Structure 1
């Protein structure tokens, strides 16, 4: 049996003051073949099909509330929302 080719999926990670948002491309993968594992400070995603696997793990700078996290999958795009445990306070830095 041949081993699977493993790719790191294309992704976009951004946040506002309340949540992290992750958009991860998993083309050709079925929803039932996706695994998402969370800790307060990391997200790992794996999607399998035939002889191909997408696999990626990302570290989070701010702690996330994993009990309130959600994930949706539509047309090859996995969207994960991770609320922060505590809201982020930001300041504006003057650029000189």
Structure 2
């Protein structure tokens, strides 16, 4: 009868769908355990909101693990380096939530910035290579709501790179 064929086909399709679902779940759990290689697209990001107590709340998302420093429980903070041609300055911005400013150590040389911060349960450490040579004595650091901003003056004025070309 047509009903029997329909029912068998329906059950066969359901079984195939459940097998595919099981394979997907296996891949997902292996990825969480670090056993599987994640194939693109690669997604990684975070969102920052301010909680009712005024402290920042950082949430991560994506299929790529965050950068981690493997040494003694230290994490590598998110860091951005901005070269401002107009203001003739270099800014290093690091996200190190959960520490107080008296627990932050910053060292500056002409070519790099070292940041280390420790609280009871959070430890951060990173070393940032600078795109231009700076005057270490010009360094100024400010920490507010989990964001450390270091402002540096370059040894030589920053020139805009690139050449204008005519578009045909």
> How would you bin the TM-score normalised by the shorter chain?
0.7 to 0.9
**Which segments of 5 or more consecutive residues in structure 1 lack a partner in the other structure?**
none
For structure 2, list consecutive stretches of 5 or more residues without a partner in the other structure: 1-70
Q: Structure 1 CA distance, aligned partners of 2:118 and 2:112?
A: 20
What is the number of residues matched between the two proteins?
94
Structure 1 length-normalised TM: 0.87
* In structure 2, distance between residues paired with 1:70 and 1:14: 15
Q: CA deviation at 1:91?
A: 4.0
- CA distance in 1: counterparts of 2:161 and 2:138, whole angstroms: 26
Structure showing greater radius of gyration is 2
Q: Which has the higher helix share?
A: 2
RCO comparison, higher one (Cα < 8 Å, 6+): 1
Question: Aligned residue for 1:75?
Answer: 145
Report the Cα distance in structure 2 between the residues aligned to 1:40 and 1:82, rounded to whole angstroms.
10
Contact 2:106–2:113 (CA under 8 A) maintained in structure 1? yes
* Partners of 1:91 and 1:38 in 2: CA distance: 25
Match of 2:117 among 21, 42, 47: 47
In 2: Cα distance, 1:38 partner to 1:26 partner: 18
- Counterpart residue number, 1:25: 95
Q: How large is the Cα RMSD of the aligned pairs? A: 1.9
Q: Which has the higher strand share?
A: 1
Would the alpha carbon gap of residues 50 and 4 (structure 1) be closer, same or farther in structure 2, given more than 3 Å must change? farther
Question: TM-score, length-normalised on structure 2?
Answer: 0.52
Query: What is the distance in 2 between the residues matched to 1:42 and 1:76?
Result: 21
Report if aligned partners of 1:72, 1:79 keep a CA contact under 8 Å in 2: yes
